[in-house]
Amino acid sequence: MGGVLGGGSKPDTSAMQAQIEQQRKETERLRAQAEQEKRDLSEEMSAKRKARATRGGSRLLLAEERLTPEAGLPMDEEKLGA
């Protein structure tokens, strides 16, 4: 009669608690993985932006028709005052 009047034993919830703990660990793992991917993407975008800024400025200043664009002087013309 203990079950009818509520005086019986409590149901076993250890399996349910283990499942909840497993889900909590999986959720934590997925959150950490998402944060790592976000950090990696941010670093990649920063590196691309830095590379674009570094190369972009010098590329605009160099003339393609010169043989040595870094020197700034055309190779075919004579020097001034010569």
80 φ, ψ to 5°?
Answer: -65, 140
Tell me the per-residue pLDDT of 17-72, one tens digit each, with 9 for 90 and over.
Answer: 999 999 999 999 999 999 999 999 999 998 888 877 665 555 555 555 555 656 65
Kindly list the domain boundaries of the chain, sorted by start residue: 24-57
Torsion sign, CA atoms 30, 35, 39, 44: positive
Joined tokens for residue 29: 């793992």
Distance in angstroms (rounded) separating the CA atoms of residues 62 and 69:
5
Q: Tell me the residue length of the chain.
A: 82
Q: How confident is the model at residue 78 (pLDDT cuts 50, 70, 90)?
A: low
CB 66 within 8 A of CB 74: yes
Q: Which residue has the tokens 């019986």?
A: 8
